[in-house]
Amino acid sequence: MTLKSRLLAKIDICSEAGCWNWTASKSSGRYGKLEISGATLSAHRASYEVYRGPIPEGLFVCHRCDNPACINPDHLFLGTHADNMADKVKKGRHRTPRGSEVVTSKLTEADVLAIRASRVSNGCVAEQYGVDRSLISLIRTGKRWAHLRPPSQAEARC
């Protein structure tokens, strides 16, 4: 079975958007993947190579359709990492994770609200949550987790 036939056997064509959605195995980022001779390849990169040719070293295969599962060669283009990031920002898909979305965060939004409501010392609260007491101070002054604003006095009365 050729690589082209393997690719075509594992897609679902979305007539509305024109995407060729990969239906087999996917990475955690929702990109299609397939194994060839013991190596795992990205399905969209394999599709680009089958339909457009070799991918120069250091270039990314980017999606015009912003659909990671799509392998339609008409939806793919080559670009640098900077090109890919600029495309993401231009399309409004760039969003910096905040709060508990940050992978290294030890606290949740509920924790932060409880910390702000607590009258216990920074040191005791820090020990309770397993963080540094300077972080507790920054949380309480609104310099960290600033996106979690306490309700205004007017909102609190309603």
- pLDDT tens digits along 87-111: 988 888 877 788 888 888 999 999 9
Report the percent of the chain where pLDDT is more than 70: 94
The CB density around residue 59, as the number of other CB atoms within 10 Å, is 15
Q: What is the mean pLDDT of residues 72-78?
A: 97
Does 106 lie in the same domain as 33?
no
- pLDDT tens digits along 116-128: 999 999 999 999 9
Domain membership of residue 130 as a residue range: 99-157
Per-residue pLDDT at 150: 62
Does 109 lie in the same domain as 54?
no
- The CATH number linked to 28 is 3.90.75.20
Does 81 lie in the same domain as 51?
yes
- Provide the b/e sequence for 114-141 (b: ≥16 CB within 10 Å): ebeeeeeebeebbeebebeeebbeebbe
